[in-house]
A and B are shown apart, each in its own frame.
Chain A
Amino acid sequence: MKRRTLLKLLAQTGALPLMGLSMRASGLIQDGYAGPLLLQIQAEGGWDVTSYCDPKVNQPGEKAITEWSNSAEPLTAGGISYAPFANNKTFFDRHHKKMLVINGIDTQTNSHTTGVLHNWSGRNAEGFPSLTALFSAHHSPGSAMPYINFGGFGATQNVVRFTRLQDNPEQLARVLEPNLAGYHEPNQWHDYEGPIYFRNQNDVALVDRYRRARLERLSGDSSLLGRQQNNLKAYAAALEGRAALSEFAPYLPKREDTIAPVEGITNIKGQIQLVSAAFKAGISSAADVHMNGFDTHDDHDAMHTVQLSYLNEALDLIWQLAEQGGYADRLTVVVGSDFGRTPHYNSQQGKDHWPIGSMIVMQSDPNWGDRSVGLTDPLHNALPLNPDTLAVDADNGTIIYPKHVHKALRQLLNLEGTELDLRFPFNNTESFAFFS
């Protein structure tokens, strides 16, 4: 399809009033990234896994740990036990084969800042990048948007630069092709029909040529400070990576398909739509989706019902879009939160911070799926496990920490032994056989 025809067609959809760009494209854009993909969902605030993937029932003589267990028992879907809470049943029944649930992860903190740092970088000391950053730096550092971040944890340690997006494809569409001013329909004054540009493309190309020559001169300066060097590299990478952006617009969701935000909930479905478009187009390899609202110090059950329901729907959406986009077999999804929540309710029917949490790793029907690993006792304390057998081993076992999960994920994602893995090592860390 000629670009002019395409633009006209897009304008007729009325999807984007200014640019008129809206059409799902199929397949990668030219030279697009076709390797593995990683999507992390950061459920910020500390989720209650006792009402999710590590179900707990009330114990005699103890304060209530879950209200739902007054009238129900945990359910199972394949090899995974889950709480009959929110819309968990729909989600787990549909996707249990894709997932490995890792319970009993000790984040060693009840502070949000440290919990976020620990969960998403693998250690509770600063200095490591997010797994997403490592992944994208290894797989597609030259992509237009190698690493998408929506505002959650996004430390890069300079291994890659993230692209900050928001859940609004219309605004993104407006800047994908900077010189495009709009689309013109014939009218009484002008019979011109077609795209309208700010400047002649030759003028734009002329500027680009001079800009690149100047960038080369600036980069050749031997007296640059560290910041200057780094920012020049980022600037150069931006220039290189943006070529594919101009072809990205047709991958964006149509206006009528764009998922509208729900009042009071972070619109991660909108975020996921954008990530999906980027994955499908081949301009990104990794993304952090960020959903807050899990810090339910009061009215816990009601608020968590809303949050978990939406999260489950969003996870379902991820896989729907992945199937539609033809990249499901390349995708890994990791879901986690700052930590867990206390195994009892406070006086405001809320739950406070608890260091023990869980993570869920998903792929399209993996041989390690449909399982839960990691164990906690009935009061949601983590139990030490043998790293090889994953059985409780009070004498020689170890508690699962985020570093163990990250080490295993690096192995799963073929990052183990790479230069980046060695630069940010988990020394003296046991290897848990989560994915075998």
Chain B
Amino acid sequence: MQVHKPSLIVNAFSVYCALIGILLFLAAPINVIADESSLLDVDANGKQTPLTDGLLIIRHLFGFTGTALTQGAVDLQGQRRQAEDITAYLNENLSTLDIDDSGKTAPLTDGLLIIRYLFGFTDSALLTGAIGDSATRKTAADITGYLQAMSNAGASISVGDGDGETTLSAKSFFEASVSSVVLENCQVCHRENGAAGSTPLRYIRPPDNAPDDPQVMQQNYETLRSYIVNGNGETLLNKARGVGHGGGAVLSSASEGYSTLEEFVGLVSAEAGLSDTSKPPIATVPEGFFKPAALLSARSTLRRASILILGRNPLPSEEALLDGEDPEALSNALTALTRAPGFHAFVTRAANDRLLTDAFLEGIPLEQSNIEGNPFYPLATNAFVAAQAEAAERFFYWPKYSHWRWGLTRAPVELIGYVVSNDRDYREVLTADYMMMNYAVNDFLDGGASFETADPDTLPYCQDNPNQPCFDHKVFKPGKHRGQVLLDEYLVTEDTDLASTKILEHGDFVDYPHAGLLTTQAFLNRYPSTETNRNRARARWVFYHFLGIDIEKSAPRTTDPEALADSNNPTLKNPACTVCHQVLDPLAGAFERFGDVGYYHESWGGNDSLPYNYKSAIPDPTSSPSYLIGETVAVDQTTFEMVSSLSVNLQAGTVYYRVSYLNDAADSDGDRNVFYDSLSIYGPSETQIIEFENLPEDSIITGCGGPGGDSYGQYCQGTLVIPITTTESGTHQFELRAREDPFGSESVQLNIALDLQADSLDQLGYQTGDTWYKDMRAPGYLNKTAPPDVESLSWAAQAIVDDPWFAEAAVKFWWPALMGSEAAVAPEVESDAGFDAQMALFEEQNTFIQLLGAEFANGINGGNAFNGRDLIVELLLSPWFRANAAIDSASIEGKLGTRRLLTPEELEAKFFHLAGFYWGDDGGFSEWQFDGRYSHLTDPLNILYGGIDSRNVTQRADEMSAVMFNIAEKMSLATACEIVSREFNLPKADRRVFSDIDLETTPSRLVVEAFNAKVSNTSFETVIEFERDLPIGPITAAISFHNDYASHEFGDREALLKQLTITEPSGATIVIELANPPDGAKIVGCGNLENDFYRLSCNSTLYLPINLSQSGKHSFALTAAGEQAGDEAVAIELVLVQTSDVEAIGEPALKNQLAALHWKLLGESAEDDTEILASYDLLLESLQQTSDQQALGLEDWPYQSCQNHNWRGEPLNVSDANGMKGAWMTVLTYFMTDFKFLHE
């Protein structure tokens, strides 16, 4: 902030007020004379800013009109404010707005260029994805030059002593410019009884018909001025930007409102003669936040998004959608990812990271899922009873019971998944009049959805229960909850012979009032309530998740004992408490119908969910406005005596004597009661005696009790209100006789009061029909109260989604899943190191979020409003996701851009798409686990790898530790052999990793060919026969057995090799009897000689060195047999390896393969081959090392890198004739433990 002189001379300051701040910085006094404005100054306020003018242009180009065009995007001080005027203006200049000179003016090219330019983007950050196909103006220099010319067109701002100058005072500046900023941005909370009503800044709103009401203006001016004069100018500006502000950031430092406020602080400070102790404004990155950042290319963006969302690289069909850096094409490709299998799982996983409702899969009991004698859910309870009756035994495990709990648990996140994956209106997450149900929930809640039966072979629980219909418990459909009844007199139960409880009769099923996920059992149970919490935790999390507001941070709490020494309903009345509670409590009240664990109207009788203690509480009689006198007395004798004597001066008429029994107690050993004998009233001359066994007819009685004998017995907490009419004025004495039935250590406590009205306390306590606490704010949302004739939670949900905060909160909701960190929050302490950088980051991000939130609410890129898929795609397109490198050593701080640590789930998905299996997956099936299977990474090692359990650990670790690295390395070491071995057993087209090479592709050797046969005969015959042109020299024939199998039931599968015959071009033959292999022959695996053949008894390879003496066509014939077992024929392979050196024959192919792996696994392109060469060197060195170790077999003890996992398919082929499997394992380990494999 700069020093200001006491007064300023301006002309037309109302238009150019914001510029003053800038010009003042140069010299003062300064006169600003405005000429006509820039072409980009759409609202004609003398400035061109991205979030007003830029937004107006892009909205216009999308076809928005009316308030959809102008809402939140027009400076109210601008001269062009009306939507129709703006539309006309932009239509008039449409051709000029064709920034890239493509012949058409489009929102995602020209509009985007304008808004980026106004944000200060340059170079690639300006251009990326925003140049149309037919553009002729393509370079950053051309575009910037054109826009600069447009900015200057017609605008001339001169400085000097112009005519018509006006002296500007703080007061006049306030009236002209500041008042509207305050009323728009501050007054909603900063008002009497507002959210910030306890602060010194409380403004008043002028009447609608007198917006410039001078008294209002004066009061608001004085309020703000006083605050600044008291030394709070800088605090004011900081709070406006969100620093320590309960209301968050309301004005970014780039906004016009902030400039105005800043200017006003300067004027007031100057007029008050305050020395300027402030510091310059936060220095944001000049010319745009992302200027120093290079963004990922479209292809890399697609890859990163695909891996983070789906765990795999993009498919060729998805990559084909790209068109260079065209943003629309990228958007289409990203959208294609969101239509792929796996997106739904991503959405639900991301949703759980926020809602944490999967905690019920991790051991937290889901109270509502209990169906053992649960009177609320008769369909479920009786179904369980019936299942046990059918089985004639009492059991606890019942698949359908598990699926019911599973279905209830997953319902909230499945709703979000359903809404987003099906392009439904995102607001349905709170407003849906249905919930997501699997088959079990649908059955038990009478949901009305229909489910198709599943293939029993895919679901073990179906195979275990062949007589039951088979349904997949993971299939969810929308249904209506019609399965709950109330606890009332219609409920009749009986115990069964199997110690279960059956519901014989019950009242009507509840017409359950759905409000999206808010009314799901899991949400209500995850955020349970108590009698004292009164749904505030639920409200708090709704504010946090769906309105983006952390109320717990919204205001510091005073702990001044005096301020808190207040028992008169402080949350409603004490300013120290109301600052939060007036925001929180109405929404808490909106949950009025749901009990502590979430049942609808769970109180006995089914009229409400209010606790008995509240309903039976006796209001404090002193709070009655017509209270006269009273006392609390103890009754500690068992014979009737006078226990209370009250004296009061009365006028003739009727008063009400109220006696309340406060402390009923009982157990099996006794019962505390009170008995009333008589009440004597002694007036100045008359005396009345009321015998309690004969109370006046119009007495009011609550609680349980009644007359008996010569007294009235009160057996539980309750009150008697006795009307007493006096005919004379004067002092009256009221004497009560009573006795107690003692119980426990306490005496009977009675409260006695005289009141002029009989029912004045009624409004303070529970009455039949109430559904919410009398001493709480009425159910509603913020300052609006839910109408009495609607379901308040459904009403509140609608009010929430109608609030602009909801759309912004949606952006924040999805931010962590895509960006790997929470959305930035404003730093709170200005003296903190890094405050400026954090503030700059926050402001930039907050502005983006606000803008995207507004677009989301209106429909992104012309799409439907509130489309969750579009929102996710837009986030992926943003520089926050795509920032990849700093340019010219400039740095951008903050957790943004690429290379965030993968979560265990993300790493596992990436691994799966590399390996085709999960690490440690034993092929088993778990119907309870979220993913239905076991794996080392996401089950026992989940927490150690930084994951969450949604229960005790709810924040993910985002930095690697040594333990985490070890986990990653162990996974790679334990699996590399299986990956490599299985890969090379597949046809190239089916491979995930090594699709560019053969196993026989070595750096310096040429594979001649491989031949395969399936042998089912047990007698020897020729099984492989072929011809091949070969040069003179040594070759190796490697004969392998690939599919070993053994079982006690079906026997052992083995290969029997008898003879290899090679016919040379001359016709001469080389006959190798395999029972007598030549010198140098080697077996890798297990085999043995038998009579006249060689038996391969496990997957193994026999290597036969052969020296060819002729060149030309050679014929090969292998005689073999198979000992058959199991379903498959014996698989035998004959590979010829040319052992004479052929210079670097395999190198190009190997490098191509490595380049592909660098891209696929690490996201590195082949442009710089340094890394590919390094990887190739590793391959070579590993190959040499393996050779040196003479350990070509992969199962040589003590190494166990190749554990067979037969349930994943064929047994491993662990033969490694040329050492390449071992070398590739080494390289694969290198990749799988690389920084970029573990960070995307």
B93 at the interface (CB under 8 A from A): no
List, in ascending order, chain A residues with CB within 8 A of B552's CB: 109, 111-114
B896 at the interface (CB under 8 A from A): yes
User: Closest residue to B553 on the A side, CB-wise?
Assistant: A114
Bound Cα distance A114, B553 (Å): 7
B1222 at the interface (CB under 8 A from A): yes
Checking A162, A214, A424 against B1174 with a beta-carbon cut-off of 8 angstroms, the contacting residue is A214
Bound Cα distance A106, B556 (Å): 12
Known: A161-B961, A210-B1178. A215 touches B1200 (CB 8 A): no
Known: A230-B959, A292-B952. A223 touches B886 (CB 8 A): yes
Checking B558, B887, B1198, B1233 against A184 with a beta-carbon cut-off of 8 angstroms, the contacting residue is B1198
Within 8 A of A (CB), among B519-554: 530-533, 550, 552-553
Q: Is the CB of A110 within 8 A of B1182?
A: no
Q: How far is the CB of B168 from chain A (nearest CB, A)?
A: 37
Within 8 A of B (CB), among A116-168: 123-127, 144-145, 150-151, 154, 156, 161-166, 168
Q: Is the CB of A204 within 8 A of B828?
A: no
User: Closest residue to B901 on the A side, CB-wise?
Assistant: A231
Q: Is the CB of A204 within 8 A of B973?
A: yes
List, in ascending order, chain A residues with CB within 8 A of B825's CB: 126
Q: Is the CB of A228 within 8 A of B897?
A: yes
List, in ascending order, chain A residues with CB within 8 A of B895's CB: 226-227
B228 at the interface (CB under 8 A from A): no
B486 at the interface (CB under 8 A from A): no
Known: A151-B953, A171-B941. A241 touches B962 (CB 8 A): yes
Task: Give the interface centre of A108, A171, A240 by most chain B CB atoms within 10 Å.
Answer: A171
Known: A206-B1181, A223-B885. A197 touches B1199 (CB 8 A): yes
Known: A197-B1199, A231-B901. A226 touches B892 (CB 8 A): yes
List, in ascending order, chain A residues with CB within 8 A of B828's CB: 125-127
Q: Is the CB of B974 within 8 A of A348?
A: no
List, in ascending order, chain B residues with CB within 8 A of A297's CB: 530, 532-533
> Would you give the 0/1 interface string for B948-986, flagging 1 where the beta carbon is closer than 8 Å to chain A?
000011110101111111110110011001000000000
User: Closest residue to B968 on the A side, CB-wise?
Assistant: A178
Bound Cα distance A145, B1191 (Å): 36
Within 8 A of A (CB), among B11-42: none
B557 at the interface (CB under 8 A from A): yes
User: Closest residue to A204 on the B side, CB-wise?
Assistant: B973
User: Closest residue to B841 on the A side, CB-wise?
Assistant: A226
Q: Is the CB of B532 within 8 A of A113?
A: no
Q: Is the CB of A108 within 8 A of B1178?
A: no
B996 at the interface (CB under 8 A from A): no
Q: Is the CB of A350 within 8 A of B532?
A: yes
Q: Is the CB of A225 within 8 A of B892?
A: yes
User: Closest residue to A177 on the B side, CB-wise?
Assistant: B966
Q: How far is the CB of A221 from chain B (nearest CB, A)?
A: 8
Q: Is the CB of A172 within 8 A of B533?
A: no
> Would you give the 0/1 interface string for A347-363, flagging 1 where the beta carbon is closer than 8 Å to chain B?
11010100110000000
B734 at the interface (CB under 8 A from A): no
A232 at the interface (CB under 8 A from B): yes
Q: Is the CB of B894 within 8 A of A227?
A: yes
Q: How far is the CB of B1203 from chain A (nearest CB, A)?
A: 8
List, in ascending order, chain B residues with CB within 8 A of A237's CB: 962
User: Closest residue to B961 on the A side, CB-wise?
Assistant: A163
Q: Is the CB of A355 within 8 A of B559?
A: yes
Q: Is the CB of B1181 within 8 A of A172?
A: no
List, in ascending order, chain B residues with CB within 8 A of A346's CB: 530-532
- Stretch in A88-96, A187-195, A318-326 touching the partner: A187-195
List, in ascending order, chain B residues with CB within 8 A of A178's CB: 966-967, 969-970, 973
Known: A165-B963, A245-B962. A214 touches B1234 (CB 8 A): yes
Checking B550, B944, B974, B1189 against A165 with a beta-carbon cut-off of 8 angstroms, the contacting residue is B944
Bound Cα distance A232, B1239 (Å): 9
Bound Cα distance A166, B957 (Å): 13
Q: Is the CB of A382 within 8 A of B559?
A: yes
Known: A225-B885, A234-B959. A179 touches B973 (CB 8 A): yes
B467 at the interface (CB under 8 A from A): no
Known: A203-B1222, A227-B895. A355 touches B1200 (CB 8 A): no
* Residues of A within 8 A of B (CB-CB), count: 98
Q: Is the CB of A225 within 8 A of B532?
A: no
Within 8 A of B (CB), among A233-247: 234-235, 237-242, 245
Q: Is the CB of A198 within 8 A of B973?
A: yes
Q: Is the CB of A226 within 8 A of B557?
A: no
Known: A200-B1191, A348-B613. A381 touches B967 (CB 8 A): no
Q: Is the CB of A207 within 8 A of B1230?
A: yes
> Would you give the 0/1 interface string for B858-892, flagging 1 where the beta carbon is closer than 8 Å to chain A?
00000000000000000000000001111101011
List, in ascending order, chain B residues with CB within 8 A of A213's CB: 1174
B299 at the interface (CB under 8 A from A): no
> Would you give the 0/1 interface string for A173-185, flagging 1 where the beta carbon is closer than 8 Å to chain B?
0111111011010
Bound Cα distance A134, B1191 (Å): 49
Q: Is the CB of A211 within 8 A of B1230?
A: yes
User: Closest residue to A292 on the B side, CB-wise?
Assistant: B952
Bound Cα distance A83, B293 (Å): 60
List, in ascending order, chain B residues with CB within 8 A of A196's CB: 1197-1200
List, in ascending order, chain A residues with CB within 8 A of B944's CB: 164-166, 171-172, 175
Q: Is the CB of B1229 within 8 A of A290?
A: no
Q: How far is the CB of A148 from chain B (nearest CB, A)?
A: 9
A399 at the interface (CB under 8 A from B): yes
List, in ascending order, chain B residues with CB within 8 A of A203's CB: 1182, 1185-1186, 1222, 1225-1226, 1229
Q: How far is the CB of B647 from chain A (nearest CB, A)?
A: 23
A3 at the interface (CB under 8 A from B): no
List, in ascending order, chain A residues with CB within 8 A of B896's CB: 225-227
B829 at the interface (CB under 8 A from A): yes
List, in ascending order, chain A residues with CB within 8 A of B829's CB: 123, 125, 127
A218 at the interface (CB under 8 A from B): yes
Q: Is the CB of B974 within 8 A of A198?
A: yes
A298 at the interface (CB under 8 A from B): yes
Q: Is the CB of B1199 within 8 A of A163?
A: no
Q: How far is the CB of B224 from chain A (nearest CB, A)?
A: 25
User: Closest residue to A267 on the B side, CB-wise?
Assistant: B952
Bound Cα distance A200, B1185 (Å): 10
Bound Cα distance A353, B1180 (Å): 66
Bound Cα distance A403, B1175 (Å): 52
Task: Give the interface centre of A114, A225, A226 by most chain B CB atoms within 10 Å.
Answer: A225
B946 at the interface (CB under 8 A from A): yes
Q: Is the CB of B963 within 8 A of A145?
A: yes
B1170 at the interface (CB under 8 A from A): yes
List, in ascending order, chain A residues with CB within 8 A of B1171's CB: 214, 217
Q: How far is the CB of A151 from chain B (nearest CB, A)?
A: 4
Bound Cα distance A239, B969 (Å): 11
Q: How far is the CB of B716 from chain A (nearest CB, A)?
A: 16
A224 at the interface (CB under 8 A from B): yes
List, in ascending order, chain A residues with CB within 8 A of B1040's CB: none
Within 8 A of B (CB), among A43-100: none
Q: Is the CB of A381 within 8 A of B561?
A: yes
Bound Cα distance A200, B977 (Å): 13
- A residues whose Cβ falls under 8 Å from a Cβ of B: 106, 108-114, 123-127, 144-145, 150-151, 154, 156, 161-166, 168, 171-172, 174-179, 181-182, 184, 190, 192, 194-200, 202-204, 206-207, 210-211, 213-215, 217-218, 221-232, 234-235, 237-242, 245, 266, 290, 292, 297-298, 346-348, 350, 352, 355-356, 377, 381-382, 399, 423-424, 427
19 extra interface residue pairs, beta carbon distance < 8 Å, beyond A218-B1235, A225-B898: A114-B552, A163-B964, A164-B957, A171-B940, A175-B963, A175-B966, A181-B1201, A190-B1197, A192-B1197, A196-B1197, A211-B1230, A217-B1170, A223-B294, A225-B883, A228-B898, A231-B1235, A241-B961, A290-B952, A346-B530
A-B contact pairs, 19 of them (CB 8 A): A127-B827, A163-B963, A164-B943, A164-B957, A172-B944, A199-B1229, A200-B1191, A206-B1185, A210-B1174, A214-B1235, A225-B899, A226-B892, A227-B900, A235-B960, A240-B962, A241-B961, A242-B966, A297-B533, A348-B611
